[in-house]
Amino acid sequence: MTGATLPTVEATQAFGRALAGRLRPGDVVILTGDLGAGKTTFTQGLGEGLGVRGPITSPTFVIARVHPSLVGGPALVHVDAYRLGGLDELEDLDLEASLEDAVTVVEWGHGMAETLSQDSLEVVLLADPDTEVRTARVQGRGARWEGESW
């Protein structure tokens, strides 16, 4: 697992934009980090990089949002698993219906969203409480990401 230092909100969004260039339909990205670590900020950059309709906001109360592509690419399915009670509730969202055609991002998905695909990326965002500087670590899982460096 390797990472990057993200000193500003703009840097966190730029990191998401850069990662978007490596994604394709069917990819699952699992976002991990404490409250305020930048998960939605990262996803805003990712959505911009994918060219999807915005705005990208936290889906905490709606659980999942679909952002269609404006440029003929994959849609972005943005899920917030924070309020889900477990794997059964994640499965109830029927994400498999759009999985092959979209990039699926699951905030708070560690320990649940790995079941969506044999291949996934986990992005761990950590924020220093004193400086608010974020650190992002990316780890690929499965054949799709084998040999990739971050």
All structural domains of the chain with their residue ranges: 2-142
Q: Which of 99, 29, 23, 105 has the alpha carbon at shortest distance from 63? A: 105
Q: How many CB atoms lie within 10 A of CB 85?
A: 8
Instruction: Name the architecture of domain 2-142.
Output: 3-Layer(aba) Sandwich (3.40)
Give how far Cα 139 sits from Cα of 1, 30, 38, Å: 5, 10, 17
What pLDDT digit, counting tens, does each position of 107-137 carry?
A: 988 988 888 888 999 999 999 989 989 999 9
Taking a C-beta distance cutoff of 8 angstroms, is the pair 42, 17 a contact?
A: no
Distance CA 80, CA 70 (A): 23
Q: Higher-confidence residue: 22 or 81?
A: 22
What pLDDT digit, counting tens, does each position of 7-24 carry?
A: 999 999 999 999 999 999
Phi/psi of residue 10, each to 5°? -60, -40
Give how far Cα 90 sits from Cα of 12, 21, 25, 31, 125, Å: 27, 27, 20, 15, 22
DSSP-assigned beta bridge partners for residue 121: 29, 140
pTM for the model: 0.89
Q: Which of 5, 115, 97 has the alpha carbon at shortest distance from 106? A: 115
Taking a C-beta distance cutoff of 8 angstroms, is the pair 114, 30 a contact?
A: yes
Q: Does residue 97 carry a pLDDT above 70?
A: no
Note the Cα 27 to chain centre separation in Å: 10
In this prediction, residue 150 has a pLDDT band, given cuts at 50, 70 and 90, of: confident
For the chain, what percent of residues have pLDDT higher than 70? 87
Q: Higher-confidence residue: 18 or 84?
A: 18
